[in-house]
Structure 1
Amino acid sequence: MENIRIELHRLQSKIKGKILLPEDKDFDSARATWDVATDHRPALIVLAANAKDVIETIKFAGEVGQKVTVISTGHGPTRPASGGIMLRLSGMDAVRIDKEARTAYVEAGAKWSKVLEMAAVYGLAPLMGSSSDVGAVGYTLGGGLGWLARKYGLSLDNVNYFDIVTSDAELKRAERDSCDDLFWALSGAGSAFGVVVSMEIRLVPENIVYAGNLVYGHEDAKMLLDKYIEWTEELPDEMSSAMVLANFPDLPIVPEPLRGKSVAMVRGCFAGNIEDGERIVNKLREWREPILDMWSKIPFSMADTISNDPKEPIPVSVTNVTIDELNEKAKAALLKMTYRDEGYSPILFTEIYHMGGSIASSDRSESVFAVRDAKYVVKIMGLVLGDGSRDFFSAAVTGLKDELKDELNSEVYPNFLEGLEKFNHPGRLYPVDTLEKLGRIKVRFDPDNMFENGLEIGPVQ
């Protein structure tokens, strides 16, 4: 024990950040993440202050033979750490905007809210997702499907470079323009190869958008789903949208008009002429008057209001499927899973994201992201207050997958998967040839699997 403390003292003398042990008062708060259902139990935590801290921590981990679990902001669903070192990057949150180049330098602990606020000053916007409370780097490494995606592509499609510390404790820059295998691997499978400490992204010239929700009662869900599919067939790339089948819990975090209710919604963001966006949404309004109409002209800096994702930690379970045709069988299965005929539903939201546009047209050789050609990504989320409710949710999702096994695509979207489902089944994320290439890159940059709580990428010689 004394030798361990001497080694830790040596590490502390080399870093600006702080080392926490289980007996320290801040240890429990430092190991907690946004998904309170994930219980991390590391042997120690390093609160990194800069890239040098990350380098020294990785060097130390290699010397003492410890695995490393990387937590950027704590929002990404990850396999629970059991022993080893937890490396927290939330203290590394610098953001710098280059208004002339329309780029942003973003450290690993920065949330989209900081990038959004700083970019908005210049009439620019990042390609963030449904919540600005999420870490920008972690979100981007998994793909980055957001409200501007059909017009501009995924977040990872707009990265210029990643700075990463690999298991040899070396800081490397992986650049898009260099045809770099490491850049390719990080763009969709980043957590398996090291610690991404920063990135440079391109910003887009979006300031004012037309965005929001049309809310209908769940009794209209079947007809709305039919109408939504028809509506998306004619959408320009400026419109990114989703249809949501929802069971809102009776909790204070839910807005009063929706609290405790089952509804169907069409939400989205039109990044173009406001009058054109209004005309497009009017096609749904004319079909049937919604019980709530929340579409309006807003600054993109208010994009959080589209989904109104909770910012406070909650226990949730998340998964997804991808599908190219929402035929009658698929529509019926989604409705049945979400709105049970009787009793409590384990599903909070079934959110059907319309893909296409620049998502599908981006250069596939530049990233590992595997679901560009899917027409729809269906995100399924449940509230899990214990093992029983998690099992209930899992059974509902398994039933859907079994029923639609001939309709669903093989690959799914990494950012909408969690825990063991994500880490133990990389074959659901990437085709076989992609997995083999990732395995060869794994051998080069993390041969001893130091980052085992990243994606489960097996080394291939």
Structure 2
Amino acid sequence: MNDFAGPVFRPDDAAYDTERAGLNLAAEHRPALVVGAVGADDVVAAVRGAAATGRAVGVLATGHGPAVAAGDDGVLIATRRMDQVRVDPARRTAVVAAGARWRHVLAATTPYGLAPLNGSSPSVGAVGYTLGGGAGLLGRRYGYAADHVRRLEVVTAEGELRRVTADSDPELFWALRGGKDNFGVVAEMEMDLFPVGRLYGGGLYFPGEATADVLHAYAQWTRTVPEEMASSVLLLRYPDMDLPGQLAALRGHFVTHVRIAYSPDTPTRTADGERLIHPLRALGPRLLDTVRDMPYADVGTIHHEPVNASYVSYDRNLLLHHPDPAATDTLLTLAGPDAGAPFLAELRHFGGAYARPPETPNAVGGRDAAFSLFTGTGAATTDRAARDTLHRKLTPWATGGANLNFLGVEDATPAGVRTAYTDDAFTRLRRTKSTWDPNNTFRLNHNIPPA
């Protein structure tokens, strides 16, 4: 396995530890080989070499959402060097290489007044996010990112580089968009762009004593807002210490952070955004209020998430119907300022275009959800138990599903992965897996086993 243009790292190499590390360290990779791919040919060589020796293959772009750690029987393909982005402004499309992060895509598209269906963090990898569905700040208006993929260049389990479209390979194209890296390694993706040059967005940071009023008002407010309004609420106690990127005004505070992203049809309608969020601003004083008219290039500031800082987070996700006052009180009791919760909790508004089937069908599930509940905590058993209590108590309002991109290492089991799909879709995915990867070579992930 020496036919690579990019670097190759083995456990005894000095740079091995740096190369194998993702941002979320909840799963620690120690593969036999890390291939620093610089192009599709390197991906092909890595998959062929792994298949010839019976090794599992995993993909590492940024490592935000780890699933299964690559052990010494695995080959890890690090795609971060493949970060090219090409834009066709006339067709409103972008071609994105395997390791490009959303910040690379935004830098290439926003000068044309065009926006991708990116996630909340500019440091997340565009391809992995999209293949897992992709629920971002334009999703209520346009749908999942996976709904707007036109073409994929995929290295299959046989080591073949294949151009996959709805016409060339309809079943594989269906499965890849929602099935993530279970069916091959995507070397390149072509996707739609949208004419969104500006947003009315930012954060309303309320103190802990306002949390009850904010949560109940937010739950009612989301029943009336248009599809152009995307929002979420984060409940988090900020550490009382200086951390990179942490706003000084939030240090040591329990914060109820309402995130706003309003994308009107025309920039002149941003005044509607002010009117729409007035009921939330009227709830009381805020620690910070950063909601403003902004260029879409600044979209990554809305959620104010850590950038390129390693962390350990055991994530869980639950999709919910619209919460009633009892559900909101449950969230408040177990994750609010008086709970002492050792986890963060985010309630993200779904619905709108998320609920509509795409023009070209795909495997993405969860279209019946009104909200997503995401939680993240540390490795301690007691912290994870507290987090799980919240999920269990909210079960009466749950759809029974989950969002694949928001599942963590504890749900990288067949039962956990199964919750991200409808029954029919999961059965179909397993059949497709049997066709394209019968030996389950691509199993270092939230795995879909062959039928």
Q: TM-score, normalised by structure 2?
A: 0.94
- 1:23 equivalent among 12, 34, 44: 12
Aligned position for 2:50: 61
Q: Distance in 1 between matches of 2:397 and 2:320?
A: 7
1:42 aligns with 2:28: no
Q: Distance in 2 between matches of 1:431 and 1:231?
A: 29
Contact 2:232 2:347 in 1 (8 A): yes
Letter in 1 for 2:254: S
Kindly report which structure 2 residues correspond to 1:27-426, keeping only aligned pairs within 5 A, or say none: 27-83=16-72, 84-176=74-166, 180-251=170-241, 252-253=243-244, 254-272=246-264, 273-311=269-307, 312-339=309-336, 341=338, 344-347=340-343, 349-363=344-358, 366-382=361-377, 384=378, 387-388=379-380, 391-424=381-414, 425-426=416-417
1:427 aligns with 2:418: yes
- In structure 2, relative to structure 1, the CA distance for the partners of 1:64 and 1:99 (3 Å cut) is same
Deviation of the 1:38 alpha carbon = 2.1
Aligned position for 1:452: 443
Contact 1:50 1:92 in 2 (8 A): yes
Deviation of the 1:150 alpha carbon = 0.9
Q: Secondary structure at the match of 1:124?
A: coil
Aligned position for 1:7: none
Number of aligned residue pairs: 442
Larger displacement relative to structure 2 (28-37 or 74-83): 74-83
State the percentage of identical aligned residues: 35
Deviation of the 1:177 alpha carbon = 5.2
Contact 1:176 1:366 in 2 (8 A): no
- 2:427 equivalent among 415, 432, 436: 436
Q: Distance in 1 between matches of 2:63 and 2:285?
A: 40
Deviation of the 1:211 alpha carbon = 0.2
Larger displacement relative to structure 2 (402-411 or 80-89): 402-411
Deviation of the 1:179 alpha carbon = 7.1
Deviation of the 1:365 alpha carbon = 6.2
- In structure 2, relative to structure 1, the CA distance for the partners of 1:364 and 1:337 (3 Å cut) is farther
Letter in 1 for 2:23: W
Provide the alpha-carbon RMSD of the alignment: 1.6
Provide structure 2 residue ranges, at least 5 long, that are not aligned to the other structure: none
Contact 1:124 1:207 in 2 (8 A): yes
Q: Secondary structure at the match of 2:301?
A: helix
Q: Distance in 2 between matches of 1:417 and 1:223?
A: 29
Q: Distance in 2 between matches of 1:59 and 1:258?
A: 50
Deviation of the 1:154 alpha carbon = 1.4
Q: Secondary structure at the match of 1:134?
A: coil
Q: Distance in 1 between matches of 2:413 and 2:306?
A: 25
Q: Note the alpha carbon deviations across 1:67-87, whole angstroms, 9 max, x for none.
A: 111112322322111112111
Contact 1:79 1:418 in 2 (8 A): no
Larger displacement relative to structure 2 (242-251 or 87-96): 242-251
